[in-house]
């Protein structure tokens, strides 16, 4: 019975076994398909990522090329603009330099100035003989270049007048110092001949140490007339309007072969003290006390000549400045 029952159940067991085998095979197929699908998804994901990386690299390269191109284009534009603007900049700079030079000239010596000083003075010696003298000094120009005009006229009592006029060019060569050159015309009525004389003038003018105003000139004329003159003066302020001025005028004759030759050496010297009161900067009356020494002229046989003189002079005058 048992065997018969077992034989009867064989078909059922075979069916169950076949069913279980089908289930197992189906499960294995599903698992394999799932694994294959996962592998394909991973491969697609990797391909997509690689494509994205390649695209990003390509985009970066294109961006770098665009940046380089724009940079090169910008440099070229900058070069073109700099080249184009260089002439304009240089022109503007040259115009600015010219304008600054003009302004510098106006502020430091480029302007034109003019000044004139006119002086009349009456002096008496111890014998009561008077002498009238006039002086004019006028100049026009800048701080560097000037034209000077100087004139002197003297007339003593009972004697003819004499005068001289100088025209000179003045050039500034150092602080407070000018060099001058020009001509001097002299007219002396006391001479019977050679009344008119023309001399070449070379000199310096400036402010010496301790504020001494200095005029030094060398005169060279016909008949071997060579002389040197020196003028020194200094203002000493007693008040703002009352001013004391010591001065020294000196003439040295180096050589003179004219008909009315003066003695060589220190031919004429005058030193004194002037006291002026400045009503304003244009009108200035003054008093003057001076000592004068004159060696005179060389003796001439059969003719009168100017002999040696030494005397004190006292006087007053008026100086105008405009």
Q: CB–CB of 242/218 below 8 Å?
A: no
pLDDT score for 107: 59
Chain-centroid distance of CA 260 in Å reads: 50
Select the more confidently predicted residue: 285 or 52: 285
* Beta-bridge partner residues of 119: 135, 319
Torsion of CA 87, 92, 98, 104, to 10 degrees: -140
pLDDT score for 126: 87
pLDDT at 22 exceeding the cut of 80: no
Q: Is 260 exposed, middle or buried (0-12, 13-18, 19+ CB in 10 A)?
A: buried
pLDDT at 233 exceeding the cut of 90: yes
Q: pLDDT tens digit string along 168-224?
A: 999 999 999 999 999 999 998 877 777 899 999 999 999 999 999 999 999 999 889
- Rounded CA gap, 152 and 63, in Å? 93
CA nearest neighbour of 122 among 315, 273, 275: 315
Q: Is 274 exposed, middle or buried (0-12, 13-18, 19+ CB in 10 A)?
A: buried
CA nearest neighbour of 109 among 175, 199, 13, 164: 175
Structure tokens belonging to residue 257? 């072969």
Please report the sign of the dihedral spanned by the C-alpha atoms of residue 303, residue 304, residue 306, residue 309.
Answer: positive
**Residues comprising the chain, all counted:** 322
With helix as H, strand as E and coil as C, how does 187-204 read?
EECCCCCCCEEEEEEEEE
Q: pLDDT tens digit string along 86-107?
A: 445 556 666 666 666 556 555 5
Structure tokens belonging to residue 322? 């405009």
Please report which confidence band the pLDDT of residue 124 belongs to, taking 50, 70 and 90 as the band edges: very high
pLDDT at 121 exceeding the cut of 60: yes
pTM for the model: 0.67
- Rounded CA gap, 285 and 121, in Å? 10
Average pLDDT, the chain: 79
- Rounded CA gap, 119 and 318, in Å? 6
């Amino acid at each position: 019975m048992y065997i018969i029952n077992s034989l009867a159940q064989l078909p059922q067991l075979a069916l169950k076994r076949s069913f279980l085998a089908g289930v197992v095979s189906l499960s294995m197929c599903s698992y394999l398909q799932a694994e294959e699908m996962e592998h394909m998804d991973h491969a697609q994901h990797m391909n997509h990522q690689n494509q994205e990386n390649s695209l990003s690299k390509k985009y970066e390269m294109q961006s770098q090329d665009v940046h380089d191109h724009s940079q090169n284009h910008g440099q070229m534009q900058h070069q073109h603009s700099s080249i184009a603007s260089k002439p304009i900049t240089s022109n503007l700079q040259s115009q600015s330099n010219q304008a600054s030079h003009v302004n510098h000239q106006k502020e430091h010596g480029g302007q034109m100035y003019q000044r004139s000083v006119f002086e009349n003075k009456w002096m008496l010696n111890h014998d009561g003989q008077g002498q009238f003298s006039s002086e004019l000094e006028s100049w026009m120009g800048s701080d560097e270049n000037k034209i000077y005009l100087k004139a002197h006229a003297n007339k003593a009592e009972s004697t003819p007048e004499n005068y001289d006029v100088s025209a000179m060019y003045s050039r500034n060569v150092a602080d407070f110092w000018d060099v001058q050159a020009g001509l001097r015309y002299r007219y002396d009525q006391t001479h019977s001949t050679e009344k008119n004389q023309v001399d070449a003038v070379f000199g310096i003018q400036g402010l010496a140490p301790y504020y001494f105003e200095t005029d030094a000139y060398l005169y060279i004329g016909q008949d071997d007339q060579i002389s040197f003159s020196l003028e020194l003066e200094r203002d000493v302020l007693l008040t703002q309007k009352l001013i004391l001025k010591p001065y020294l005028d000196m003439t040295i004759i180096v050589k003179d072969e004219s008909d009315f030759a003066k003695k060589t050496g220190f031919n004429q010297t005058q030193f004194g003290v002037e006291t002026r009161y400045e009503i304003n900067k244009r009108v200035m009356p003054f008093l003057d006390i001076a000592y004068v020494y004159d060696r005179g002229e060389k003796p001439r046989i059969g003719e009168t000549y100017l002999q040696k003189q030494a005397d004190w002079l006292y006087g007053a005058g008026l100086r105008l400045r405009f």
